[in-house]
Amino acid sequence: MAQTTPNHTQTVSGWAAHDSSGKIVPHTFKRRENGVNDVTIEILYCGICHTDIHHVKNDWGITMYPVVPGHEIIGLITKVGNNVSNFMIGDRVGVGCLAATCLECEFCKDSLENYCDQVQFTYNGVFWDGSITYGGYSTMLVADHRYVVHVPESLAPEAAAPLLCAGVTVFCPLKDNGMLESRGKKLGVVGLGGLGHMAVKFGKAFGHHVTVISTSPSKEQEAKGRLGADEFIVSTDPAQMKAKKRSLDLILDTVSANHSLGAYLELLKVKGALVIVGAPEKPMGLPSFPLIFGKRAVKGSMIGSIKETQEMMDLCGKHNITCDVEVIAPHQINEALDRLAKSDVRYRFVIDIKAAADANGNANASDS
Ligand code: NAP
Ligand code: ZN
């Protein structure tokens, strides 16, 4: 669709999957000209979210191929539309999951546009002009300025990139459940991956007691050492799970794979809540007894609004909170996706787009 949209005249280099094998290959495509509400961004880094795997492999049955993934984007502004007053050329900015919303509904008006019924995402979405959106596994992005945030200069850009999705996705449920105002609560984090490790960092930064609930015993030392978690439970060990029954106020479930919730719910205190942010393709098992006997709640949460993303970014800038990343070159994306699928990353892969673009530019220059 995008290829036939009239003002999509800018040729961009990127990396895309063309079918459900999920294999990523170099891909050239078109982006729109910079419109009056747009900013053009030279992409420096882009994080690899597990959602990218769900999309390239068509786990959710909604992928429009070719798909250029990537919604943890950090870059520099190179063009600014006439209606844009809050960004300037040279600004360091971030783009997360949001590309367009209706701008008119109660959620858009209330700075909760991530819950707009017509939300369209940074990739695999359909923009206002009917074009399919392509994400940050690419050298350049044109984004409507209403879905762009400032990124504090004090943060290393590669370590800040995953804040745009992983960070804000766990920040919002912490905020919504009163974890920014009060201290000393018992927080559980299920799954120590990209989202999970940020939940641990935020939980500790906000003064809480954090328990990691993981399938990977090998992550215990690091979780307690580098990330500062207070406790670590191996979820496949029934004895460890039983010993921690009724101990937690809030659990964030970041697990990407199919799983049942019963055993995790038993870890909650009476009236505790479990917030699902992980998005396995199959429905989760939800037994009634742990809910009823503990007056417990299960909720969901999706990324965050632009206002919340900026709030989180500013907070991270103030307290120097960033993600633990492994920086890779674009030719390593497939290997990174394979390792991510096996939970073998500490804790987020981030693609160094600029270095690859520069090297490519230099190669082209020396070719000519
Ligand atoms: P990730 O880095 O792969 O982390 C997921 C973690 O889940 C793994 O590190 C692993 O932790 C645990 N896990 C994996 N397989 C498991 C299994 N079979 N049983 C129990 N635990 C298992 O992924 P991510 O990028 O953090 O994303 C996590 C999920 O959140 C994905 O489904 C993604 O699509 C979704 N997501 C949702 C939103 C939203 O807005 N709600 C935003 C971003 C991402 P351990 O080794 O510690 O067990
Ligand atoms: Zn994501």
Scanning the structure block, which residue is given the tokens 């991510």?
340
> Does the Cβ of 278 fall within 6 Å of ligand 1?
yes
pTM value is 0.96
CB 75 within 8 A of CB 141: yes
Question: Is CATH 1.25.40.10 correct for 10-164+304-362?
Answer: no
> Does the Cβ of 302 fall within 6 Å of ligand 1?
yes
Ligand nearest to the CA of 71: 2
Best residue among 46, 48, 50, 192 to mutate for probing ligand 1's pocket (most ligand atoms within 8 Å of CB) is: 50
Residues 6+ apart with CB under 8 A from 181: none
> Does the Cβ of 323 fall within 6 Å of ligand 1?
no
- Burial of residue 155 (number of CB atoms within 10 Å: 0-12, 13-18, 19+): buried
Best residue among 55, 71, 255 to mutate for probing ligand 1's pocket (most ligand atoms within 8 Å of CB) is: 255
> Does the Cβ of 195 fall within 6 Å of ligand 1?
yes
Residue ranges of the chain assigned to CATH 3.40.50.720: 166-300
Closest ligand 1 atom to Cα of 49: 25
Give buried/exposed letters for 334-361 (b at 16+ CB in 10 A, else e): bebbebbeebebebbbbbbbbebbeeee
Ligand 1 centroid from CA 340, angstroms: 9
H or E stretch covering 311: helix 306-319
> Does the Cβ of 343 fall within 6 Å of ligand 1?
yes
Residue ranges of the chain assigned to CATH 3.90.180.10: 10-164+304-362
Which residue in 92, 107, 113 sits closest to 44, CA to CA?
A: 92
Q: Domain 166-300 maps to which CATH number in 3.40.50.720, 3.40.50.2300, 3.30.2130.10, 3.40.190.10?
A: 3.40.50.720
Beta bridge partners of 348: 325
Neighbours of ion ligand 2 (CB under 5 A): 49, 51, 165
H or E stretch covering 321: none
Sign of torsion, CA 210 211 214 218? positive
Instruction: Note down pLDDT in tens along the chain; length 368 residues.
Output: 444 577 999 999 999 999 999 999 999 999 999 999 999 999 999 999 999 999 999 999 999 999 999 999 999 999 999 999 999 999 999 999 999 999 999 999 999 999 999 999 999 999 999 999 999 999 999 999 999 999 999 999 999 999 999 999 999 999 999 999 999 999 999 999 999 999 999 999 999 999 999 999 999 999 999 999 999 999 999 999 999 999 999 999 999 999 999 999 999 999 999 999 999 989 998 999 999 999 999 999 999 999 999 999 999 999 999 999 999 999 999 999 999 999 999 999 999 999 888 887 755 544 43
> Does the Cβ of 51 fall within 6 Å of ligand 1?
yes
